[in-house]
Amino acid sequence: MDTQEILDNHYAVHKNASLLDILVEFEKSMDEMGIYTYANWMEGEVVAGPKVGRYWVEVTLMYPREQMPDPAGGQRLLGYDCKVYYKKDYYLAPRRVQTPGDFKPGSKKPQVDEVPVWLVTIKMPKRLLDNFDLETDADVEAKDKAKDEGITDETTVAGNQ
């Protein structure tokens, strides 16, 4: 997992208010299911998603390797028809520069260290979220493209007259 991928995901979520609303609904559903009562589930950071499909919302959370979330929480999610995937991975974190040896040779960029993490991907059925008017990723992309091209509802109505 690369730092830039995580930053790009955070930027995309904060740029789009509907994705932020979906994350809030996702978190609310997890809370109502009692997932946060299990060890370390509160420590997760969103690194990918939400990815909205026709029937599912998918979010990937990252945990430090030594703080794996309790698998009993994942079992509880399975009881609500969610799908849970665990994966060991490494997060590439820039090294804190304290000596000249902390830089990459021939550059002013710090070296990167592999930090062991757990990635937990949760696919939750849309029906579990309170907001049933969720847009799919394709809908969001189409709206963003129309917005970039200067097309709005008003221009569409004006063009039809």
SS3 for the chain, per residue?
A: CEHHHHHHHHHHHHHCHHHHHHHHHHHHHHHHCCHHHCCCHHHCEEEEEEEECCCEEEEEEEEEHHHCCCHHHHHHHHHCCCEEEEEEEEEEEECCCCCHHHECCCCCCECEEEEEEEEEEEEEEHHHCCCCCCCCHHHHHHHHHHHHCCCCHHHHHHHHC
Domains identified in the chain, total number:
1
State the chain's mean pLDDT as an integer.
82
What's the pLDDT at 137? 54
Residue 96 covered by a domain: yes
Residue 153 covered by a domain: no
pLDDT in tens, 108-150: 888 888 899 999 999 999 888 875 444 555 666 666 677 667 7
What's the pLDDT at 139? 61
Count of CB atoms situated within 10 Å of the CB of 79: 8
Q: HEC string of 10-41?
A: HHHHHHCHHHHHHHHHHHHHHHHCCHHHCCCH
Domain encompassing residue 29: 3-131
Q: Which residues of the chain have pLDDT under 50?
A: 132-134, 156-158
What's the pLDDT at 157? 46
Beta bridge partners of 103: 110
Residue 99 covered by a domain: yes
